[in-house]
A and B are shown apart, each in its own frame.
Chain A
Amino acid sequence: MANVVLRNVRKTYPGGFEAIKGVDFEVGDGQFCVLVGPSGCGKSTLLRMVAGLETVTAGEIDIGGRVVNQVEPADRDIAMVFQNYALYPHMSVYNNMAYGLRNRGMAKPEIDARVQEAARILELGAMLDRKPRQLSGGQRQRVAMGRAIVRQPKVFLFDEPLSNLDAKLRVAMRVEIRKLQRRLATTAIYVTHDQLEAMTLADILVVMNAGQVEQIGSPLEIYAKPATTFVASFIGAPPMNLMPLDAEGVRARFGGAATEAGILGVRPEDLVIAREPATGGGLTLDLTVEAIERVGPETFIYGTRSRHGDLTAISSKPGELPPDDIIVRVPGQDAPAIGDRMFATALPQHLHLFSAAGRRIEVQG
């Protein structure tokens, strides 16, 4: 039982590369914190710093009221689940779980009780004598979990533990991990690049980009009010539609408060196909349908804006949708034909405004 506090944590590698550029956040006792971000954003490095596998260049990491910057990983009372599971290949499942307890000089009956209990929870009872190579991916994953829970640590650290599993198993294990963490009420920090995993697991979500925290909050808060265009396009699938607005367009739409040029965002699920343009401050997009994706319960319509109106076009960054391309998410399977023209409208309360630099601007009303 412990909280984890990071105070202005920095990491600079010997070559001068700044991997973590000052991170502050707190994970309360028993909370499930998810660090999410694209690959290379520093989330794994940060987790490894909490584990003690990477040194801390500046700042403080505090676990349960004790600054652990100079404490060995073994003495931090944490347990970690690795992406590749990192099971000891030469040891049986039982010994994999017992190893950490033996190293701490625990009595044999106590070790046995804890391993058996973990095996029962994780349904590994029949596999205790097997070697890791005789197990499937999902079973290895469970052994890695078992190795963490037998220790009864203050904090669980998860480094993308599900990314090596197939899609179906990943969903099942995701639910398992959450149930287990609730039941044990152990503080957890979980790293992932998968925004769906992040949304479903987190009590607190920390969105990271390029070594910095973009936003901290509950998943739904972050979904409802993304603090930056990065968060807006990273959280939510498909991502939020982002369109450039010139200063005049901003004034016309949002009144006197906003005077700079900016970026207008609207989530695909907040767009509605309509026959008539919207009224009363709503957004209307005039689209030509380019592609349709039907996934069963919902359909994604990819369209190009054919008339700019108050939206000015700017060039797009590589890898992003061109600013004229819009995704509309509609329930069911009905969709216009490719090549059709249609209106997509959004209510005023569903519009997000960002500054040209990508910061959220709150608008009245």
Chain B
Amino acid sequence: MQRLFKITVNGKEYDVAVQELTSGASLMPNYIGTPVSSATSQVASAPKPAAPAVAQAGSGDHCAQMGGVVAGIFVKEGQSVNEGEKILELEAMKMKVPVIATASGKVSRILVAVGDAVTAGQPLLTIS
């Protein structure tokens, strides 16, 4: 019985195939992933990172509304910002797309740099 898992380590996603070796388990399973030589080395098929890893957004995270390139960052880590302030700017579809602070607080971390390509939903910075 082979089971497939998707695990995330340090923000990177891996597809993992796990072979269950209990009684009755066939030693010649139906390979779903890359075939390997023996059942015992089947524990993890060569982990390969999936598409650019996108960490789960937590509270205070400000995420990209849409895919684009980071065109400007207007705050520094540790800086206090007010709700409604423009904190970052993306460029997408030849338009500047502002990222606005949804709450007042301190910028606890900035996860991107100017020039980075980002995908929709990707956390850009955190305000706590």
Q: Do A and B bind each other?
A: no
